[in-house]
A = this chain, B = another copy of it.
Amino acid sequence: MKLSITVVIAIVNLCFQSANAQSEPIITEDFKPSSVNQPEKIFPQVNSQRRVRTSISAPNASKVQLDIGGVKYDMKKDEKGVWTGESNPQDEGFHYYQLNIDGASVPDPGSLYFYGAGRWGSGIEIPSADQDFFALKNVPHGLVSENIYFSKLTNSFRRCFVYTPDGYNENTKTRYPVLYLQHGSFEDETGWSSQGKANLILDNLIASKKAVPMIIVMDNGYAYKDQKNTPSDKNKPRESIFEEVLIKEVIPMIDAKFRTIPKRENRAIAGLSMGANQTMRIMMNHLDTFSYYGGFSGTANYPNSDTIDVSSFLDGKYKDGNALNKQIKLFWLGLGTKEPAPFPKSVGAFRNMLEQQGIKYEYYESPETAHEWLTWRRCLNEFAGKLFK
């Protein structure tokens, strides 16, 4: 009897599916503590298959699960009441996760905590082949400063983090260009210099002369008008005034407090996801203020994937491609190859519009990453090296 190659493949596939369904996955026992564990904590761990193993003592619990990447994995209890379990292989890079103990979703007491997904909670780092670019190395390090300010526009205290490159404090005559860098939805101003590694990425780029020394300002993208005095508007959705806060409050404050070069040629603006959307609008509304733009995993037509009508999109700001090519020094877009809908099609529709309008831009794809921080670290690494040159 002769079998066609197609039939052989089908049989092999069936065997594999059957094996997967009936038997436990083969787990490689080379787990190591995650690089973002709390001091001295042995769990969570990651192995060479990129599986996550968590462990927690919960002697009286009836069910404990590891909740990562949208999947809940049952953990198993040993005779001492310690529950341990593993996830399927995860993408390289940083992921938020949590534990679930008898129905309660809680942070893992073993991990450090990060703000994302709308909460402070656990995160884990799956080593990536290219992790050297964001590693903590023995190179000169810049400072990350917490800068608290009172915003009259929002009638509230707000905060931005400011990266100043090595040498900023000593070279008191030198002035620096500035990158305004924004987080995504359900994240905040802490993200870029924590799980985003923006400071280490720039330290490494600057030390190897791949980027020029620059200041980076990381503010909070959520900003609303003070509603204390307008009780009648309580039930209306809040209108973001982040653009106004950035232009009228943050930039003047940064230019006054830090030794910036306060010109459009020396200002860049970039963001990830919601931040890409926000900063693109701000860029196009303020070409007198910025000349470099970076959009990481997002464009202003989000979540739409339809053909863009340039006459109406962003008030026609993309109508005159020739004029934009003269004004914009760099228009840069990045996306992970594993991003979910609607990002690929939405960014695709935006790129089609740029091409139709003859607008010059650069496009980068992060291999094998989705809508997560390794995509954005790589985007920043690529983008920052092209600024202010």
Say if the beta carbon of A3 comes within 8 Å of chain B: no
Q: How far is the CA of A266 from the CA of B143 in the complex (A)?
A: 24
Whether the pair A60, B106 counts as a contact (CB closer than 8 A) is no
Whether the pair A58, B101 counts as a contact (CB closer than 8 A) is yes
Chain B residues near A150: list those with CB within 8 A: 138
What 0/1 pattern do residues 32 to 74 of A give for CB contact below 8 A with B?
A: 0000001110000000000000001111111110000000000
Whether the pair A172, B172 counts as a contact (CB closer than 8 A) is yes
Q: How far is the CA of A386 from the CA of B104 in the complex (A)?
A: 49
Whether the pair A103, B143 counts as a contact (CB closer than 8 A) is no
* A contact residues vs B (CB 8 Å cutoff): 38-40, 56-64, 81, 99, 101-107, 109, 112-113, 118-121, 136, 138, 141, 143-150, 157, 162, 169-170, 172, 188, 193, 199, 256-259
Q: How far is the CA of A102 from the CA of B57 in the complex (A)?
A: 10
Chain B residues near A199: list those with CB within 8 A: 146
Whether the pair B102, A106 counts as a contact (CB closer than 8 A) is no
Chain B residues near A145: list those with CB within 8 A: 143-146
Chain B residues near A102: list those with CB within 8 A: 58-62, 101-102
Whether the pair B103, A106 counts as a contact (CB closer than 8 A) is no
Q: How far is the CA of A139 from the CA of B147 in the complex (A)?
A: 13
Given contacts A141-B149, A169-B257, contact A105 B109 (CB under 8 A): yes
Whether the pair B121, A109 counts as a contact (CB closer than 8 A) is yes
Chain B residues near A103: list those with CB within 8 A: 57-61, 81
Chain B residues near A81: list those with CB within 8 A: 103
Whether the pair A58, B104 counts as a contact (CB closer than 8 A) is yes
A-B contact pairs, 14 of them (CB 8 A): A38-B119, A56-B106, A61-B103, A62-B62, A64-B104, A101-B101, A104-B106, A107-B109, A109-B119, A136-B148, A141-B149, A143-B147, A144-B146, A145-B146
Whether the pair A141, B136 counts as a contact (CB closer than 8 A) is no
Give 12 A-B pairs besides A58-B102, A61-B101, A136-B157 with Cβ atoms closer than 8 angstroms: A39-B188, A57-B105, A58-B103, A60-B62, A60-B103, A61-B102, A61-B104, A106-B106, A107-B107, A141-B148, A144-B146, A145-B146
Chain B residues near A136: list those with CB within 8 A: 148, 157
Chain B residues near A148: list those with CB within 8 A: 136, 141
Q: How far is the CA of A256 from the CA of B199 in the complex (A)?
A: 21
Q: How far is the CA of A325 from the CA of B193 in the complex (A)?
A: 46
Whether the pair B104, A113 counts as a contact (CB closer than 8 A) is no
Whether the pair B170, A257 counts as a contact (CB closer than 8 A) is yes
Q: How far is the CA of A146 from the CA of B104 in the complex (A)?
A: 34
Chain B residues near A101: list those with CB within 8 A: 58, 61, 101-102, 104, 106
Q: Determine how close the nearest CB of chain B comes to the CB of A34; give it in whole angstroms.
A: 14
Whether the pair B149, A146 counts as a contact (CB closer than 8 A) is no
Q: Determine how close the nearest CB of chain B comes to the CB of A362; give it in whole angstroms.
A: 31
Q: How far is the CA of A102 from the CA of B81 in the complex (A)?
A: 10
Whether the pair B112, A106 counts as a contact (CB closer than 8 A) is no
Chain B residues near A118: list those with CB within 8 A: 40
Whether the pair B141, A256 counts as a contact (CB closer than 8 A) is no
Closest 10 CB pairs of A and B: A58-B104, A61-B102, A60-B102, A59-B103, A143-B145, A60-B103, A172-B172, A106-B106, A145-B145, A141-B148
